[in-house]
A and B are shown apart, each in its own frame.
Chain A
């Protein structure tokens, strides 16, 4: 990406804002997705062990999938 000639401070600001937006979006997406997949019964006063395991696995698998798809894209 050639951004020569653009104010470097503006670039740095844009990059920082992008990082914040992306981080927030990832958290929101994972929360939605993994809640739907893992919290399927009645809701208790804390998460059960299997729910905790599921949520942890879910976040890891989803991130893994996204990485994988990005790589597929770059290959095409």
Chain B
């Protein structure tokens, strides 16, 4: 298999992309479970919308806080 530097760079980028996608997937699950507590409708209620936005933002805040902590 070709192990050129270009391929290495490409694979590293792919790894980053995959990690990002995993985080998005995880966040979707977590906030879905937290906020969608009854049978889903033909659109999100305003309560559900608010909860989902808050959940996403707080979770991302938390990952930043933890990342900063680990750098110290």
Contacts and interface: CB of A to CB of B under 8 A. Distances in A.
A4 B4 CA distance: 11
A72 interface: yes
B28 interface: yes
Interface of B: 2, 4, 6-7, 9-10, 13-14, 17, 20, 23-25, 27-29, 31-32, 36, 39-44, 52-53, 56-57, 60
Given A33-B32, A70-B24, A73-B23, 18 more contacts: A1-B17, A3-B13, A5-B7, A7-B2, A50-B39, A61-B36, A61-B43, A62-B28, A64-B44, A65-B44, A65-B52, A72-B53, A72-B56, A72-B57, A72-B60, A73-B20, A73-B60, A76-B60
